[in-house]
Amino acid sequence: MKHKWIYALLAIALLVAMVPTAPASAAPAGAAMACAKDYTVNAGDTLSAIAEKEYGSITAYWPIMAATNAKHLTDASYAKIENPDLIEPGWKLCIPSTTDAEAFLKAFPGRDTPTGVAMLFGEGAKGQLIVASWWTNGGEFAGLNEMFKMFKEANPDVEIVNAAIAGGAGTNFKGQLLSQLLGGVAPDTFQLHAGWEADTYDPGVLITNVDDAYARNKLESVFPPTLLSMLKFKDHYWGVPVNIHRSNVLWYNKALFEKAGITAPPTTWDEFFAAADKLKAAGIAPVALGGKDGFELQHTFETILAGSMTAEEYAGLWTGKTSWNSPKVTAALETFKKYLSYANEDHAALTWAAATQLLIDGKAAMNIMGDWANGQFISGNFTDYGWAPVPGTKGTFVALSDSFALPTKAPDPVNANLWLDLAGSKAAQEAFNKQKGSICARTDCDYSSFNAYLQSAAKDWTADSIVPSVTHGAAAKPSWATKGYADAVNLFATSGDVAAAQAALVAAAADAGYPQ
């Protein structure tokens, strides 16, 4: 805004500087074609019509566009075709031979792909890349910046716009993004939890499937099958995943455990509460909980729920196979209630990060949170922590995955696809996840430079049964997860009324289309 003048001057300076030096960019595919003849556009001509006349196909105009643009770079008398639908009378076009044209078409992967763009324009990507996420700060923001850096190196002419919106687990982000998509002011790509969350954005209408990006980068062979099945929604892929998070982790402060004489992390809830009592007796706050945004409570309850039944039964809760009337749900509610009684009283004022900070500061001993807490430990240079699966969930990996999606109205699908290619790459995933504190979506990442927790998580990811997380958008219809289920848990956290909460959970499931 205030730099407008500076930018304008810079732009003029650049233009002036560029005139004498003819661009010598990497040999574009179009340059390989000689002009069989030149053609001057007449009024009423379209590229399709010319292509039909020359090659007998109305869709074979790409070689003409590529060859003309390639010529334009060295000979300004040839036109520059930005948009194949817009040609003007008087333009000089270069028409390659039929053989050249056929060879070109065979190699041409389509206009929306980075390679395709290079072939058409003989130069790298330009313009903007708008990336929307809810990673506004901390390790996740640092991780995103790593990816920006890599993208910038590969595509120096693209301006990256960070369109982040804050909010825990995307609480504010999703609604605002939906509003943007409906209003047609989409970003080029945005953060999407793998799974049911795609349903928020009317898949196929507001977002486009990214099956092409999978095919182009052969992603189906580098992501584990469990993840692929989580990603596939309505038979398509809607996002390229960058990471895997585990949500059922119990974190503890080793020094405080030692102080209270606890030797091993609890594996059952009985052990957990025994340990909590010991901590309390030693004058240490046993549990740090953040509850300000509500999702922290839903998250905790979800992991308790997963621990109170088999992985299969748990997954069945969200597909109508397991009844919410089950006594196991009752037991989980009881456990959750007891867990809350050990938590810091001011949990309603704290975000999950503030609660994690209590652990780092040695003010509380244990905390159930997803392994994004690990990212906070990394950025806070805190190493004296231990971890274990949430009691009862050994062998179960409650998973969520952050992916990048492609809005139908992405202003620059070319750059968006470049971003998706990057997001799926090994180098980007390693750089991103080290900062973010998560493991790679790919199976071939090198974990040797990751911290101990991540190495263990990577191992569990291959060995455990995987269930998708509901709080984080993977397992259930969005309105069920963010309203029916969420409100029931939030109400229960203060009322402590088990019967009412279970009734509300049953009603929420019925609302979502699974009458119990």
Within 350-369, the residues that bind other proteins by CB under 8 A are 350-354, 357-358, 361, 363-364
Q: Which of 1, 6, 15, 16 binds other proteins (CB under 8 A)?
A: 1
Binding piece for other proteins, criterion CB under 8 A, among 108-116, 236-244, 342-350, 398-406? 342-350
Separation of alpha carbons 111 and 306, rounded Å: 46
Mask of contacts with other proteins, 227-266, x by CB under 8 A? ----------------------------------------
Q: Which residue has the tokens 């390679």?
A: 115
Using CB under 8 A, pick the residue from 97, 98, 330, 379 that binds other proteins.
Answer: 379
Kindly tell me which of 144 and 420 has the beta carbon lying closer to other proteins. Answer: 144
Structure tokens at 307: 């621990």
Rounded Cα distance between 73 and 25, Å, is 9
- CB closer to other proteins, 271 vs 487: 487
Chain residues 155-194 in contact with other proteins, contact rule CB under 8 A: 161-168, 171-172, 174-176, 178-180, 182-185, 187
Interaction of residue 73 with other proteins, rule CB under 8 A: no
Write the burial class of residue 2 (CB in 10 Å: 0-12 exposed, 13-18 middle, 19+ buried).
exposed
Instruction: Round to whole Å and give the CA distance between 139 and 375.
Output: 5
Report in angstroms how near the CB of residue 157 gets to other proteins at its nearest. 19
Q: How far apart are CA 511 and CA 507, in angstroms?
A: 6
Tell me, what amino acid is at 20?
A: P
Q: Is 325 in the site for other proteins (CB under 8 A)?
A: no
Report whether 286 contacts 276 (CB < 8 A): yes
CA distance 219 to 231: 12
Q: Does 206 bind other proteins (CB under 8 A)?
A: yes
- Which of 102, 271, 293, 384 binds other proteins (CB under 8 A)? It is 293
Site for other proteins in 115-134 (CB under 8 A): 130
Q: φ and ψ at 41, to 5 degrees?
A: -70, 130
Question: Who contacts 371 (Cβ-Cβ below 8 Å, separation ≥6)?
Answer: 245, 246, 247, 249, 437, 438, 453, 454, 457
Taking the least distance from each CB to other proteins, the nearer of 125 and 489 is 489
Q: Are 71 and 21 in contact (CB under 8 A)?
A: no
Q: Which is nearer to other proteins, 187 or 424 (CB)?
A: 187
Q: What is the DSSP string of 85-132?
A: T---TT-EEEEE-HHHHHHHHHH---TTSHHHHHHHHSS---SEEEEE
DSSP conformation class of 393: -
Examine residue 488 and tell whether it contacts other proteins (CB under 8 A): yes
Q: Which stretch binds other proteins (CB under 8 A): 32-40, 98-106, 341-349, 467-475?
A: 341-349
Task: Quickly list DSSP for 162-181.
Answer: E-----GGGTTHHHHHHHHH
Q: Does 98 bind other proteins (CB under 8 A)?
A: no
CB of 414 to other proteins, least distance (A): 20
What is the biggest distance separating any 2 CA atoms in the chain, rounded to whole angstroms? 91
Would you state the structure tokens that stand for residue 465, as one six-digit string? 């049964």
- Our finding on whether 291 is near other proteins (CB under 8 A) is yes
With CB under 8 A as the contact rule, the residue among 83, 106, 263, 345 that binds other proteins is: 345
User: In the range 491-510, which residues lie near other proteins by CB under 8 A?
Assistant: 491, 493-495, 500, 503-504, 507-508
Taking CB under 8 A as the rule, does residue 415 contact other proteins? Answer: no
Kindly state the number of chain residues that form the binding site for other proteins, as judged by CB under 8 A.
80
**How many C-beta neighbours within 10 Å does residue 160 have?**
19
Beta-bridged to residue 160, according to DSSP, are 129
490 near other proteins (CB under 8 A): yes
Exposed e or buried b per residue across 299-318, where buried means at least 16 C-beta atoms within 10 angstroms of its C-beta: bbbbbbbbbbbebebbbbbb
Q: Which is nearer to other proteins, 174 or 442 (CB)?
A: 174
- Contact flag: residue 434 with other proteins (CB under 8 A): no
- Cα-to-chain-centroid distance, residue 220: 17
Helix (H, G, I), strand (E, B) or coil at 403: strand
Q: Which is nearer to other proteins, 55 or 201 (by Cβ)?
A: 201
Between 103 and 348, name the residue whose CB sits nearer to other proteins: 348
By CB under 8 A, name the one of 46, 97, 136, 465 that touches other proteins: 136
Please report, for residues 1, 10, 11, the alpha-carbon distance to residue 4 in angstroms, rounded to integers and kept in the order given: 5, 10, 10
If one asks whether residue 142 binds other proteins (CB under 8 A), the answer comes out as yes
For the bound state, the minimum distance from the C-beta of residue 29 to other proteins, rounded and expressed in Å, comes to 34
The token pair at 294 is: 């509500």
* Site stretch for other proteins (CB under 8 A), options 100-108, 200-208, 215-223, 398-406: 200-208
Residue 370 touches other proteins, criterion: CB under 8 A: no
